[in-house]
């Protein structure tokens, strides 16, 4: 894992999902403190942190392993990422967090069900990674 001074989250994403790839690129572009690492859901990094029983019930979209060891899914993961991005995205995440979880998760589920229809499947398992960000991708540990 890359060595950074601040606590780091890991964003696990579906490597065959165009929306997930776009989400990774979005976080890379907008985060202010570079406090997130990335890894596909099928990676060794994912398997080493999340036990099989947990993996079997997780959605195949975005999953956040927080720096303090919590596992966040669906809208909780998105809100957490928004807060970590800072600025406008933190404000938006805090406003979104005022809504009930069941409503946010229903929106998340709707988007997740339709993402393959709207977003083109990526050519590979990993987005094109600019050289300066490569240490932040945990593909095989």
- What is the span of the domain harbouring residue 131? 9-136
Position 28 in a domain: yes
Cβ neighbours of 93 (radius 10 Å):
19
Position 4 in a domain: no
Q: Vertex 131, ends 129 and 67: CA angle to 5°?
A: 70
> Quick one: which of 138, 30, 11 has its CA closest to 71?
11
Q: 69-80 pLDDT, tens per residue? A: 999 999 999 999
Instruction: Please state the pTM of the whole predicted model.
Output: 0.81
CA-to-CA separations, 100 to 62, 76, 133, in angstroms, rounded: 20, 11, 35
Q: How many domains does the chain have?
A: 1
Taking each continuous run of H as one helix and of E as one strand, the counts in the chain are 6, 4
Which parts of the chain sit beneath pLDDT 50? 1-4
Rounded CA separation 67/4 (Å): 12
Cβ neighbours of 20 (radius 10 Å):
25
How confident is the model at residue 1, as a pLDDT?
Answer: 47
Position 3 in a domain: no
How confident is the model at residue 126, as a pLDDT?
Answer: 52
Q: Which residue blocks in 31-100 are alpha helix, DSSP H?
A: 44-49, 52-55, 74-85, 87-96
Per DSSP, the residues of 5-32 read SS--EEEEE-TT-HHHHHHHHHHHHH-S
Position 2 in a domain: no
How confident is the model at residue 26, as a pLDDT?
Answer: 92
Question: Helices 101-118 and 18-30 meet at what angle, rounded to 10?
Answer: 110
């Amino acid at each position: 894992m890359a060595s950074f001074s601040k606590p780091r989250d890991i964003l696990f994403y579906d490597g065959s999902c165009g929306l997930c790839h776009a989400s990774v690129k979005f976080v890379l572009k907008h985060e202010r403190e570079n406090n997130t690492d990335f890894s596909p859901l099928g990676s060794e990094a994912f398997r080493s942190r999340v036990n099989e029983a947990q993996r079997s019930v997780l959605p195949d979209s975005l999953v956040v392993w927080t720096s303090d060891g919590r596992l966040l899914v669906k809208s909780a993961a998105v809100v957490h990422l928004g807060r970590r991005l800072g600025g406008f995205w933190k404000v938006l995440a805090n406003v979104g967090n005022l809504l009930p979880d069941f409503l946010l998760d229903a929106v998340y589920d709707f988007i997740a069900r339709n993402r393959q229809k709207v977003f083109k499947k990526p050519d590979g398992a990993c987005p094109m990674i600019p050289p300066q960000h490569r240490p932040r991708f945990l593909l095989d540990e």
